[in-house]
Chains A and B, each alone.
Chain A
Amino acid sequence: GNSVTQMEGPVTLSEEAFLTINCTYTATGYPSLFWYVQYPGEGLQLLLKATKADDKGSNKGFEATYRKETTSFHLEKGSVQVSDSAVYFCALSGWGYQKVTFGTGTKLQVIP
C-alpha cells in the first residue's frame, strides 16, 4: 500500500535560517505528491503539489521537487519567518485515486 515517511519534529530554527523537511514515499505507479500546512487552530491547507517526476512545486517561498529515483519530496525554504511556524504534512495520492495518504506531520517553530 501507499505510505509516507517524514522527519520527526519538532524542528526549531532561527528566523532567516534555511529549512529542509525530509519526506520519502512508497507507492505503486506515479502518485501525485503534496505538502500541506496546518497553522494553530486551523485545518490543513495545500501548500504546494507536484504531479510527475522532476516537477517542482512552489508557493510562498517553499519548494519541493518530485524525485522518483529516490522516492522523495523534500520541502525547502531559503529563509524562514516566524509566521512559518506550523505543522507540515507530506502526502500523496495515486493516479485517479481519491484517497490521500498523509505523513505524521513535522512541527516547525521559528524563533525571532
Chain B
Amino acid sequence: DAGVIQSPRHEVTEMGQEVTLRCKPISGHDYLFWYRQTMMRGLELLIYFNNNVPIDDSGMPEDRFSAKMPNASFSTLKIQPSEPRDSAVYFCASSSAGTSGVRYEQYFGPGTRLTVT
C-alpha cells in the first residue's frame, strides 16, 4: 500500500509569494494532521482534520496559514504571503480510528522542505 504522499518534496520561494503544500493520506484513514519541524521549535502540530472537518487549528501560527481538506484523499496547507521564518519541513500524517474507536499510531509522509528567501 502507498503511504502518505506529499508534494512537492522541496520548495524554494521568495518572501511574499504564495506557497501550497499538498498531501494525500493513506486510503481509509479518517484523521489527517499537518506538522511543522524546525531545529529551534522541534515538531509542532499545526492543525488536524477528522472526516475532512478541521477539529483543532490552535497550532496554526497566524492568519497567513490556512488548510483545507476538500475530500478524504486530499489536503492542502497554504501560506500567503510567505516569510523567511516559515522555512521548515512540513509533514502530513494520517491515522485511523480502527474498529475499536481507539486511535493509535500516525503515519507520516516524507515531508516538504520549504525555504523562503
Contact = CB atoms under 8 A, between A and B. Distances in A.
Contact of A100 (B101, B106, B111): B106
Contact of B104 (A45, A93, A99, A105): A93
B43 A102 contact: yes
Residue from B42, B56, B101 whose CB has the most chain A CB atoms within 10 Å: B42
A111 interface: no
Nearest to B106: A100
Interface in B69-112: 91, 93, 95, 101-111
Contacts of A49: 104-105
Contacts, number: 50
Contact of A96 (B42, B43, B45, B102): B102
A96 B101 CA distance: 7
Contact of A99 (B4, B56, B105): B56
A103 to B, nearest CB: 8
A42 B113 CA distance: 11
13 contacts: A32-B104, A34-B104, A41-B110, A43-B4, A43-B108, A43-B109, A44-B108, A46-B105, A46-B107, A89-B43, A93-B103, A96-B103, A99-B48
Nearest to A97: B103
A45 B108 contact: yes
A34 B43 contact: no
Closest 10 CB pairs of A and B: A43-B108, A46-B105, A44-B108, A98-B103, A104-B42, A102-B43, A43-B110, A43-B111, A43-B109, A43-B91
